[in-house]
Amino acid sequence: MLEANAHNHLKTLHQKNLSLWPNSLTLTRLIARSLRRRDNTLIQLASDSQNHWWPALLIPICLESNNIVLVLSNKLRRQIIEVELPNLLAGGLNFDYVEGIRHTPPENKIWLIDHKNLYIAYENDSLKNCQLIIPEAEFLSSELTESMSIKITPKDWEHLIKFYPGFESSIINIHERLSRRLFSQAACNDAAIRLDSSEIKLLRDMLKDESPSPIPWNRAFHAATHDWVNWAQLSNQSLKWDWHFQPLTPLKTLSDLWSNQVHLMVTNSGKNDSFLAELKQAKCSFSVEVNLGNPFNQEPISLFVPKKQPLPNTPSFYRHLLDQCRRLILGRRRITIILIDDFQLRLQLLSELVGEFGLRVVHETTDSESNGIICCSCDWWIINQDQIPIPDQLIFGIIPFPTLESPLIAARAQTFKEQGRDWFREFLLPETLSILLKSIAIIRGKDVRVAVLDGRMRYRSWGKSIFQTFEPWIPLERLLPY
């Protein structure tokens, strides 16, 4: 039986001094059972699992590799290929896999694809009889949003004219009219201006009786619905603009995929109510749901959140931010990461810190001194964190709420408002907690100090949710000499 074989292989690896999560044997039997029975399964792991749960997932897949599709971000792919695969080979297990787009699933091999290729495979109907396995599924929605994005550039307009030469003047007129309107509406340089779907529908309807449209126009025409948001990103220097499209609810957009494909999802951040609500909205159901682990079984984070901090919209906030960053940096021997999403505030702080700490201070680069100070956005840190040595400390200058200046975020918030729902607590706050989870994922169980210098964490009722996101943690009441 697959469960027993996976159990025995995992015990053998454990005897060879492989780090084993306390719930690994239970997890591997659950995974094996779901593969054998082809159940739709959701397994929610507590954050104490860190990366020690990978063998429990991969061993059953190695033993039952037929029609398995493993959906991985670039970060998770590196984790498997560079870390987990050598461990499996040392234990006598063969992780035989293929990558990339295919018309049919490979026979007796594991198919590794990223989220973009998952969407392409779904559109091409290439996933028949496959069983989808999605690790770190709590980030599935954000990964799919980026993967399903459509971008229309000025060259794509030229390509459209060449494809439909009989409509050249009409296409040019639409583009010129849009360009004049967008640049006249822009309140700042390089603005992002949200558009309604009427413009793309006008183009679609004009060309509907012609031959199929070229990529990416064919996808953009299908995105002319209320479930997608579109906006123009202007470039004042070149007087050109790009047209962007993104799904508002990507899981719901792919509801047929969850209905027709066997799927096994594994989350690594405990129970996530907002993710579960999104799955329910997408009609993604499970016959097996399991919670494993205890976040309090891991080493707590040393959390520095001083009392009586000013709020970000007060005149004293910047001086407070600068002074606290100086105090936190002094005497540290390893890398410091300062996370600020506000670009202008980040550059202002960067210039002040350069004047005091010199070349140690850099902006969004993985090339840093051993005691360097990297100022960056949360998105940059999330993407690049596995390419940087484990830092000494993470400093959140401001709680990383997604900005409503983003057309996608504004459109999603508007959808919640129209439905009479609490757009802040049901959407914006969960998005922020997801950003925080991704930001601290790599430092869990490590000797890394975390500081939050935003007074709202203590003064607002929703600050409790952020404290819970960092659990387990111990308060760092004062800064002691290093």
pLDDT of residue 133: 96
Interval 307-318 mean pLDDT:
94
pLDDT in tens, 215-243: 899 999 999 888 999 999 998 888 899 99
**Dist CA 168 CA 160 (whole Å):** 9
Residue 7 falls within a domain, yes or no? yes
389 prior amide bond cis, ω within 30: no
Whether 129 and 211 map to the same domain: the answer is no
Confidence category of residue 19, pLDDT binned at 50, 70, 90: low
* Total domains in the fold of the chain: 3
Q: Are residues 432 and 353 in the same domain?
A: yes
Confidence category of residue 374, pLDDT binned at 50, 70, 90: very high
What's the pLDDT at 48?
A: 65
Q: What is the mean pLDDT of residues 441-457?
A: 91
Question: How much is the pLDDT for 17?
Answer: 61
Are 314 and 461 within one domain?
Answer: yes
pLDDT of residue 482: 45
Residue 284: pLDDT band with limits 50, 70, 90: very high
Q: Are residues 325 and 447 in the same domain?
A: yes
Query: Is 282 inside any structural domain?
Result: yes
Co-location of 286 and 200 in the same domain: no
**Cα 437 to the center of its chain, rounded Å:** 10
Please give the model's pTM, rounded to 2 decimal places. 0.87
**Does residue 482 lie in a domain region?**
no
Locate all alpha helices (DSSP H) within 51-163, ordered by sequence.
Answer: 54-63, 74-78, 85-90, 115-123, 140-147, 154-163
The answer to whether residues 284 and 307 belong to one domain is no
The answer to the question of residue 139 being in a domain is: yes
CATH number at residue 339: 3.40.50.300
**295, 329, 353 - which closes a domain:** 295
Looking at the domain assignment, is residue 354 inside a domain? yes
Q: What is the mean pLDDT of the chain?
A: 90
**Average pLDDT for 321-339:** 93
Closest by CA to 245, choosing from 157, 148, 171, is 148
| 480, part of any domain | no
pLDDT of residue 18: 61
Mean pLDDT, range 89-118, rounded to an integer: 87
**CA angle 397–401–407, rounded 5-degree value:** 135
> Lowest mean pLDDT: which of 132-136, 184-188, 251-255?
184-188
Domain span holding position 235: 151-248
Q: What is the mean pLDDT of residues 339-354?
A: 95
| Structural domain contains residue 462 | yes
